[in-house]
Structure 1
Amino acid sequence: MDDIDRKLLTSLQQDSRLPNAQLAEKLNISASSCWRRVKALEEAGIVERYAAIVNPKQMGLRFEAIVHVHLTRHDTEALARFIAAVQRREEVTECYATTGQADYHLRILCRDIDAYNEFLEGFLFVQPAVNSAQTNVVLRRIKANGPVR
């Protein structure tokens, strides 16, 4: 990857709907060269997909939290069941396995505190591998969806 590829990736992350001609002009390269570079980045797996960034509040999802999950069981089968269950829940928009005190960190979006309580009681706390969870309510976003450079 060279500097043009990096600038191309930054531009795509800012607005993936830019027409190829505009993108090429912005990078001061030919349209055909730009198209080839984009295709090469896609084929290399650097560009995984294109997506719309949605405003959760405009979708009625006014409650956001980061949940730190502590497991009691770490055997392969229990972990696989926990991960599969988390992947099926629409409230979980992101999930990370991490080092440190908590085993997993979940980003949760739902309509309100009542919906979040339903998520906890009806889903998270009934998972056999879950020992406990600590919730940090997001008061406001400072930075999100920043470009990868």
Structure 2
Amino acid sequence: MAKNAMQKQAVQLDAADKKILRVLQKEGRLSNTELAEKVGMSTSPCWRRVRRLEQEGVISDYSARLDRRTLGFGVLVIVTIQIDAHNVEQAVEFEEAVLKLEQVIACYSVGGGVDFVLQVVCEDLDAYAEFSMNTLRRLPGIKAMESNFVLKELKPLTGWPI
């Protein structure tokens, strides 16, 4: 059975591991030779460390960061949602519905005044209005929903502070 994010134990990282991870977060396409050179190691030990970090789940995937505006997503919205009842069935039903929505690029179950925080992208305000009224508001169990439009991305996620 796979551990969920709350059950995972933090992996102990030494200075060399952290240096490798910092470089890979910024430049994931580097060859092992280029990575080893940037972190000041020879290629074999660098390769072994990267493989170990992958096996331990510290490195979970490799991907490219895409520019949302260039892709035609001019609107980024932070949506907060409260659900009616706080039972497992309703939360699972909501979560399963959200996972199917490609406009929702991130979703977090949170504590506090709201139950879920979503990041949503759309082409423009009209597209968001359509998505909001005809899709989001119709998700199961929604009690309240608030849309917060991102005016400026000051510090988008580019990596973890290691």
Structure 1 match to 2:116: 104
Please point out which of 98, 117, 126 is paired with 1:86: 98
Using structure 2 for the length normalisation, give the TM-score.
0.89
* Aligned equivalent of 1:65: 77
1:130 aligned partner:
142
Amino acid at match of 1:102: V
Q: Distance in 1 between matches of 2:125 and 2:25?
A: 32
Task: Calculate the aligned-residue CA RMSD, in Å.
Answer: 0.9
Give secondary structure in 1 for the equivalent of 2:77.
Answer: strand
Q: Compare 9-18 and 116-125 and name the one that shifted more.
A: 116-125
Shift of 1:132: 1.1
- Between Structure 1 and Structure 2, the one with more helix by share is 1
Q: AA paired with 2:27?
A: D
Letter in 1 for 2:116: Y
Q: For 1:123 and 1:78, how far apart are their aligned partners in 2?
A: 17
The number of residue pairs the alignment matches comes to 149
Give the whole-Å Cα distance in 2 for the aligned partners of 1:89 and 1:40. Answer: 34
Judge which range, 124-133 or 51-60, deviates more.
124-133
Report if the CA contact (8 A) 1:7-1:27 is conserved: yes
Structure 1 runs (4+) deviating above 4 angstroms are: none
CA distance in 1, matches of 2:139, 2:155: 32
Per-residue deviation at 1:14? 0.2
In the alignment, residue 123 of structure 2 is paired with which amino acid?
A: R
2:59 corresponds to which of 26, 38, 47: 47
Cα deviation, residue 78, structure 1: 1.1
Q: Is 1:29 the counterpart of 2:4 in the alignment?
A: no
Partner Cα separation in structure 2 for residue 138 and residue 109 of structure 1 = 10
Query: Is 2:85 aligned against 1:77?
Result: no
Q: Distance in 1 between matches of 2:136 and 2:93?
A: 12
Q: Whole-Å Cα distance in 2 between the matches of residues 98 and 78 of structure 1?
A: 15
What 5-or-longer segments of structure 1 have no aligned partner?
none
The answer for the alignment partner of 1:95 in structure 2 is 107
* Counterpart in the other structure of 2:7: none
